[in-house]
C-alpha cells in the first residue's frame, strides 16, 4: 500500500460516522504489554480505532496484531496534536522508535463482513543507550563495593 492509499483511508476515517470510531487511553506504557483490538458484530464500511498512550524519553513501541476479515489494515502513529508521525501497512508486526511524550496509535481498515476482528499487543522497549547507562551504573556500584571490601 502506498502513501496515497494510506492518505485516502485516513480521509475516509475522518469522514466516517462516529459509531465506527473508538478511542481508548492505554495510559503510560513502560515495559508492560498492553492488549488492543476490536470486534465488529455487524458489517461496517470503515473503522478507525485510536489508542492513546505516553512513553518515557527514547522509547521504541513495538506491536503484534492479527486480524480476520479486514482489508487495507493499517496502523498510523500520531503525535499529541494528532499529526501523522509514521505508519505501517503491515501491522502484524510494527515498530516506531525514538518516542518521547504522548502519542496515539490509530488502526484503520475495511471490515469485510460481520464477525471481522483484530487483536494484539503493544509494548515499550527502552533504547539501547538506556541499557548501556544502566550497566555502567551497575559496574560503578560493583567497583565501589569491591574497593570497600579490600580496604576492610
Task: Kindly tell me if the per-residue pLDDT of 98 is higher than 60.
Answer: yes
Domain boundaries, the chain: 3-127
How confident is the model over 45-87, as pLDDT tens digits?
A: 889 999 999 998 888 899 999 999 998 999 999 999 999 999 9
- pLDDT at position 3, please? 54
Q: How far apart are CA 23 and CA 53, in angstroms?
A: 11
Task: Kindly tell me if the per-residue pLDDT of 136 is higher than 60.
Answer: yes
Domain 3-127 CATH class label: mainly beta
- Are the CB atoms for 90 and 63 separated by under 8 Å? no
Task: Kindly tell me if the per-residue pLDDT of 19 is higher than 70.
Answer: no
Q: Is the pTM of this model over 0.85?
A: no
Q: How many Cβ atoms sit within 10 Å of the Cβ of residue 122?
A: 21
Higher pLDDT, 61 or 4: 61
Task: Kindly tell me if the per-residue pLDDT of 132 is higher than 80.
Answer: no
Lowest mean pLDDT among 56-60, 87-91, 139-143: 139-143
Amino acid at each position: 500500500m502506498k502513501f496515497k492509499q494510506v492518505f485516502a483511508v485516513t480521509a475516509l476515517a475522518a469522514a466516517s460516522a462516529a459509531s465506527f470510531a473508538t478511542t481508548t487511553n492505554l495510559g503510560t506504557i513502560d515495559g508492560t504489554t498492553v492488549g488492543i483490538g476490536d470486534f465488529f458484530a455487524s458489517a461496517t464500511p470503515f473503522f478507525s480505532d485510536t489508542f492513546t498512550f505516553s512513553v518515557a524519553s527514547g522509547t521504541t513501541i513495538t506491536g503484534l496484531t492479527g486480524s480476520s476479515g479486514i482489508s487495507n489494515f493499517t496502523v498510523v502513529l500520531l503525535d499529541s496534536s494528532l499529526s501523522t508521525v509514521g505508519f505501517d501497512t503491515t501491522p502484524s508486526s510494527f515498530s516506531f522508535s525514538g518516542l518521547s511524550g504522548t502519542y496515539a496509535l490509530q488502526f484503520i481498515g475495511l471490515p469485510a463482513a460481520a464477525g471481522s476482528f483484530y487483536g494484539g499487543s503493544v509494548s515499550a522497549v527502552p533504547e539501547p543507550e538506556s541499557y548501556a547507562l544502566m550497566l555502567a551504573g551497575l559496574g560503578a556500584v560493583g567497583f565501589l563495593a569491591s574497593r570497600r571490601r579490600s580496604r576492610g
